[in-house]
């Protein structure tokens, strides 16, 4: 009897799952001990001055005068600041020079509505998570209050931001906790957690997000609760914490399910990632058709489908690859300004981030070859700069 049950597929797969999970845990404990908290590097006074928008000399004088947060001093007298201290200095400067406050502290002002950027494409591996992560960190480094939401049950964004979905989360600790249909629902503020990155908070993801995909068809059939519209739930949850943030960035799963539709409806703008390869672009036209079909159903049911901007971002771009160049040219000729001018370059430094769990913003400059690092970072900053310009435009800033 036992022999038969051991060989059935469910039992076999369960055994594989357990073996794999044990092995992964061992590996992770070795690479990244559970107790080791992720921390962000400090910034040299030159970097800090540039980020705040003052001169290095001015920053030095402040610290000599004992004003503002005190930087760490290395043995050779070099000053370095944490991102938290840089943000304190932004507040300090904004208070000191109220006329220029906005240039030091770029938080949104009354009348400027929360911006929610959904990063999407149902194509797996089109760099959605990487794009979300870099955008979120870019905005946080620039002094904005950012909430990153991991809507992907695979939770790669969460693990990049220092949360290990299998170990650090219990029931209801993902967005699912705030959008579920039953009485177990809790406020989003109880789910949001701080990250090691000052100004960047996270709503983590894990497999429980799948529940929303399963429960929504049931809720749709439940005529007792017609108000429970699935496509409003993500937006309603975000609205509960909106006062705390300037920008929300959502990493969508690689499916056009209810979670993605909810994110698209909650969003004020969309960022559609494209890996410029024929196979990917071919499936993209399918993606666009399906998205448009589904969205028109949602719109007719009362969903909000006004977006301040929709941009395509070319990622993992190899500018010297001829077929890629043709595809990028094609996209530009078809979609014009809707394609970001800057593309995110393919770079091993970015790819390695998945292994070391560090982005280009996090690694010390000496860690990778300088020229590769500079080129990749420039491309990331240029693309994110265009997204930020779109956000500013939506706020009516010039
Ligand atoms: N600019 C880049 N240069 C090199 N590698 C990259 C770049 N962007 C992403 N990658 C790598 O490509 C792979 C897929 O990226 P990512 O996980 O961001 O895609 P995704 O769209 O979120 O995938 P999924 O659909 O599985 O959620 C990852 O291994 C990532 O490290
Ligand atoms: Mg992803």
119 lines ligand 1 (CB under 6 A): no
DSSP 339: B
Under the banding of pLDDT at 50, 70 and 90, the label for residue 225 is low
SS3 at position 73: strand
Q: Mean of the pLDDT values across residues 74-82?
A: 89
SS (H, E, C) 258-326: HHHHHHHHHCCEEEEEECCCHHHHHHHHHHHHHHHHHHHHHHHCCCCCCCCEEEEEECCECCCCHHHHH
| Domain residue limits, the chain | 43-104, 115-395
Measured in angstroms, how far is the CA atom of residue 215 from the centroid of ligand 2?
23
Q: Which atom of ligand 1 is nearest to 354's Cα?
A: 31
Measured in angstroms, how far is the CA atom of residue 256 from the centroid of ligand 2?
13
Nearest to 146 by CA among 41, 262, 266, 244: 244
- Beta carbons of 69 and 86 less than 8 angstroms apart: no
Q: Mean of the pLDDT values across residues 59-86?
A: 91
Model confidence over 326-380: pLDDT tens digits? 999 999 999 999 999 999 999 988 888 777 788 999 887 677 777 888 899 999 9
Q: Which atom of ligand 1 is nearest to 121's Cα?
A: 21
- Beta carbons of 80 and 74 less than 8 angstroms apart: yes
Question: Which residue has the CA at smallest separation from atom 6 of ligand 1?
Answer: 351
Measured in angstroms, how far is the CA atom of residue 129 from the centroid of ligand 2?
4
Q: Which ligand is nearest to the CA of 128?
A: 1
Residue 7, pLDDT score:
73
In the chain, % of residues over pLDDT 90: 64
Model confidence over 291-323: pLDDT tens digits? 888 888 888 888 888 899 999 999 999 999 999
43-104: CATH topology: Multidrug-efflux Transporter Regulator; Chain: A; Domain 2 (1.10.1660)
CB atoms within 10 A of CB 269: 19
Instruction: Report the distance separating Cα 214 and Cα 219, nearest Å.
Output: 9
174 lines ligand 1 (CB under 6 A): no
- Cα dihedral sign, 103-109-111-116: positive
Mean pLDDT score of the chain, rounded to an integer? 90
Q: Which of 120, 125, 384 to mutate to test the pocket of ligand 1 (most atoms within 8 A of CB)?
A: 125
Residue 31, pLDDT score:
65
Beta-strand ranges (E) seen in 182-243 are 193-194, 200-203
356 lines ligand 1 (CB under 6 A): no
Under the banding of pLDDT at 50, 70 and 90, the label for residue 124 is confident
Under the banding of pLDDT at 50, 70 and 90, the label for residue 1 is very low
Model confidence over 125-173: pLDDT tens digits? 899 999 999 999 999 999 999 999 999 999 999 999 999 888 889 899 9
Q: Which atom of ligand 1 is nearest to 376's Cα?
A: 1
Measured in angstroms, how far is the CA atom of residue 114 from the centroid of ligand 2?
24
Which pTM value belongs to this model?
A: 0.91
Structure tokens at 68: 């503002």
130 lines ligand 1 (CB under 6 A): yes
Is 43-104's fold the same as 115-395's? no
pLDDT at 34 over 70: no
Structure tokens at 252: 């969508």
82 lines ligand 1 (CB under 6 A): no
- Beta carbons of 118 and 271 less than 8 angstroms apart: yes
Measured in angstroms, how far is the CA atom of residue 185 from the centroid of ligand 1?
32
pLDDT at 36 over 80: no
152 lines ligand 1 (CB under 6 A): yes
Q: Mean of the pLDDT values across residues 10-34?
A: 76
What residues contact 374, with CB distance under 8 A and at least 6 apart? Answer: none
In the chain, % of residues over pLDDT 70: 93
Q: Which of 161, 351, 383 to mutate to test the pocket of ligand 1 (most atoms within 8 A of CB)?
A: 351
Residue 372, pLDDT score:
83
Q: Which of 130, 160, 263, 342 to mutate to test the pocket of ligand 1 (most atoms within 8 A of CB)?
A: 130
Model confidence over 244-291: pLDDT tens digits? 999 999 999 998 899 999 999 999 999 999 999 888 787 778 888 888
359 lines ligand 1 (CB under 6 A): no
354 lines ligand 1 (CB under 6 A): yes
Q: Mean of the pLDDT values across residues 96-115?
A: 95
Q: Which of 122, 127, 134 to mutate to test the pocket of ligand 1 (most atoms within 8 A of CB)?
A: 127
Instruction: Report the distance separating Cα 374 and Cα 378, nearest Å.
Output: 6
Instruction: Report the distance separating Cα 256 and Cα 156, nearest Å.
Output: 18
**E strand or H helix at 235, and its extent?**
helix 230-239
| 115-395: CATH, from 3.40.47.10, 2.60.40.1120, 3.40.50.300, 3.60.110.10 | 3.40.50.300
pLDDT at 228 over 60: no
């Amino acid at each position: 009897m036992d022999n038969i049950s051991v060989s059935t597929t469910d039992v076999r797969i369960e055994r594989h799952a357990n073996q794999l999970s044990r092995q992964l845990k061992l590996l992770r404990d070795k690479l990244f001990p559970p107790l080791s908290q992720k921390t962000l590097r400090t910034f040299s006074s030159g970097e800090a001055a540039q980020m705040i928008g003052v001169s290095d000399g001015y920053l030095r004088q402040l610290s000599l005068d004992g004003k503002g947060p005190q930087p760490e001093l290395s043995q050779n007298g070099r000053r370095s600041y944490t991102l938290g201290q840089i943000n304190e200095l932004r507040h300090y400067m904004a208070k000191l020079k109220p006329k220029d406050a906005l240039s030091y502290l770029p938080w949104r002002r009354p009348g400027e509505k929360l911006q929610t950027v959904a990063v999407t494409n149902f194509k797996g591996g089109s760099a959605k998570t990487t794009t979300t992560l870099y955008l979120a960190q870019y905005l946080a480094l620039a002094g904005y209050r950012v909430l990153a939401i991991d809507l992907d049950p695979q939770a790669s964004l969460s693990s990049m931001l220092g949360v290990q979905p299998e170990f650090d989360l219990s029931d209801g600790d993902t967005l699912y906790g705030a959008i579920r249909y039953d009485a177990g629902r809790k406020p989003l503020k109880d789910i949001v957690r701080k990250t090691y990155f000052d100004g960047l908070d996270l709503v983590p993801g894990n497999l429980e997000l799948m529940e929303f995909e399963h429960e929504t068809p049931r809720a749709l059939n439940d005529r007792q609760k017609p108000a429970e519209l699935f496509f409003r739930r993500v937006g309603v949850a975000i609205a509960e914490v909106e006062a705390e943030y300037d920008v929300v960035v959502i990493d969508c799963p690689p499916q056009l399910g209810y979670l993605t539709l909810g994110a698209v409806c909650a969003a004020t703008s969309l960022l559609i990632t494209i890996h410029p390869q024929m196979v990917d672009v071919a499936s993209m036209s399918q993606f666009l058709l399906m998205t448009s079909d589904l969205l028109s159903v949602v719109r007719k049911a009362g969903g909000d489908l006004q977006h301040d901007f929709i941009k395509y971002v070319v990622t993992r771009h190899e500018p010297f690859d001829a077929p890629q160049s043709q595809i990028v040219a094609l996209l530009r000729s078809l979609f014009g300004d809707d394609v970001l001018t800057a593309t995110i370059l393919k770079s091993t430094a970015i790819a390695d981030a998945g292994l070391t769990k560090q982005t280009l913003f996090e690694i010390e400059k000496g860690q990778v070859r300088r020229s590769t690092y500079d080129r990749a970072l420039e491309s990331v900053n240029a693309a994110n700069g265009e997204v930020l310009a779109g956000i500013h435009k939506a706020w009516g800033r010039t």
